[in-house]
Chain A
Amino acid sequence: MKRVGKQTWVFDDGVYIQAAAAAVGPLEADGPLGRYFDVCHRDLYCGEKTWELAERRLMREAVDCCLQKAGVSAEEVDLFLAGDLLNQSATSNYVARELPIPFLCLFGACSTSMQTLAAAAALVAGGLADRALVATSSHNATAERQFRYPTELGVQKPKTATFTVTGAGAALVGRTPGRWRLRAATIGKVIDAGLKNPLDMGAAMAPAAADTIEQHFRDLGVSPGDYDLIVTGDLSRVGSVIVRELLAESGYDVTDVYNDCGLMIYRPDQKVFAGGSGCACSAVVTYGYLLQELARGTFRRLFVVATGALLSQTMVQQKQSIPAIAHGVVIEAAGQESDLPP
């Protein structure tokens, strides 16, 4: 493991995702990636009494399913890293309460999926853990309540608004060779472009995504063509166009290899405004769809850039602008590794 350039960690001695799982709600299960998810709920309550308990159940199911796939018991995991969108990261803390694993709670808003994955990879590569479990979750109704309005309040939302994904993703990171190798991670800086509208987070986050992607290219001396897919977390219809434009202005044409998890998870006719968002958006698309397609050979190398709007309801009400962050992780199909410089 070493640092290359300013912000990129390269894991050159073998850090792998050994198993991953995704649990989702009804709308996500009905979406184009529905068949890639391990647990699909028909009801937004997921059989629980409150939305918060439903989110907790989703994370627990993703964790259990991931450990089961890896054939590893919770006692054999050295570290658990998780985060979510609720105050005090309630979902993660309460799931960790049920697990006999030392726990680090991380908050990176919707960038938490790659934040936890990058941190876990570094800790495993550095020898501080043999196996590290990562998880993140979001729930449409808990996020609405936390950041916006009561779910049934009639408010006309603009086309730029995003729709929080209901789901949870978990992955087990370790040194035992698995199907997916973690090659590098680029840790992003907090970028605040000055936007203040919480119903247009794509435009607020796009500069942070562009900053991390460019930094990654510069640090490693790579170009968009070195990846089969560069995928952002939840920039949605608005932000994904902006990030392409920002990168084009810097001389990087990502058009052929770029996509956004927020656009992949729902069908165009599902009523989700500009697309999906939330911690679970990049988590379930990555741990469900992308990893399975890597294993199948559709892709060989991905750069997953999870984007987070570091939104605080209080700060927004005090007319402060929205800071944003993006963290990226390079995931390769194991056995294909290769020619990633340096």
Chain B
Amino acid sequence: MGLRTDYLREVKAFQPSPPYAANAVKAFLVGGALCALAQWLVDWYGGTFAASPLEAHLWASMVMAGLAIVLTAVGKYDDFSQFAGAGATMLITGLANAIASAAIEHRSEGWTAGVAGQMLKAGGAAVIYGLIAAYVLGLVWP
């Protein structure tokens, strides 16, 4: 047995596998903390500002997204995601980061072809499938 007999199989011994358990724990804790923060914002808008539940959710989402955009702009969100993994990418903060990072990246090609044209490059799939999923769920639970 050796690499030369079956490279695709034998090479796996040389490839460090991702720390799945540690990644899952980190994603759970960080993602959970972000969700708890967002929930606190919802309650705060609902309580202090007497916002309706819909308005409170919208405000909380916007604040979380805004936070992610600021962290993206100062170049910290990618480091945060490297640590938190899915805990950072699966939330609305991840979507905000995907759109903002593409917009920043393509600023050098101008506002139209660059920023606007490329903005959804990384986040477009989440937007499209998010819309489809929302539509389907809307049919199931009218």
Contacts and interface: CB of A to CB of B under 8 A. Distances in A.
Contacts of A242: 3, 11, 14
Interface in B1-39: 2-4, 7-8, 11, 14-16, 18, 23
Contacts of B104: 150, 152
Interface string A3-18: 0000000000000000
Interface stretch (B45-53, B56-64, B81-89, B134-142): B81-89
Given A152-B72, A155-B81, A49 B3 contact: no
A203 B11 contact: yes
On chain B, which size bracket covers the interface?
35 or more
Nearest to B103: A150
Nearest to B98: A153
Contact of B77 (A149, A152, A200): A152
A156 B98 contact: no
B7 A207 contact: yes
B117 interface: no
A154 B3 contact: no
A339 interface: no
A245 interface: yes
Nearest to A160: B15
A194 B108 CA distance: 36
Contacts of B85: 156
A69 interface: no
Interface residues of A, number: 30
Contacts of A157: 82
Given A150-B122, A157-B82, A193-B8, A249 B2 contact: yes
Nearest to A207: B7
A154 B16 contact: no
A156 B23 CA distance: 10
B14 A203 contact: yes
A250 B105 CA distance: 46
A160 B105 CA distance: 25
A195 interface: yes
A238 B101 CA distance: 29
A155 B79 CA distance: 9
A106 interface: no
A296 interface: no
Contacts of A245: 2-3, 14
A193 B2 contact: no
Nearest to A197: B15
Contact of A200 (B15, B82, B121): B15
Contacts of B16: 158-160, 238
Given A154-B77, A154-B82, A193-B7, A50 B108 contact: yes
A151 B78 contact: yes
Contacts of A159: 16, 18
A72 interface: no
A241 B80 CA distance: 30
Contact of B3 (A149, A160, A246): A246
B8 A195 contact: yes
B5 to A, nearest CB: 9
B31 to A, nearest CB: 12
B130 interface: no
Interface string B100-114: 111011101000000
A42 interface: no
A97 interface: no
Given A151-B101, A154-B77, A155-B89, A194 B122 contact: no
Closest 8 CB pairs of A and B: A154-B81, A150-B105, A152-B101, A150-B101, A156-B85, A50-B108, A153-B101, A159-B16
Interface of B: 2-4, 7-8, 11, 14-16, 18, 23, 72-73, 75, 77-78, 80-82, 84-86, 88-89, 94, 97-98, 100-102, 104-106, 108, 121-122
Interface of A: 49-52, 145, 149-160, 193-195, 200, 203, 207, 238, 241-242, 245-246, 249-250
25 contacts: A51-B108, A145-B105, A149-B122, A150-B122, A152-B78, A152-B97, A153-B81, A153-B102, A153-B122, A154-B72, A154-B78, A154-B80, A154-B88, A155-B82, A156-B86, A159-B18, A200-B15, A203-B14, A203-B15, A238-B14, A238-B15, A242-B11, A245-B3, A249-B3, A249-B4
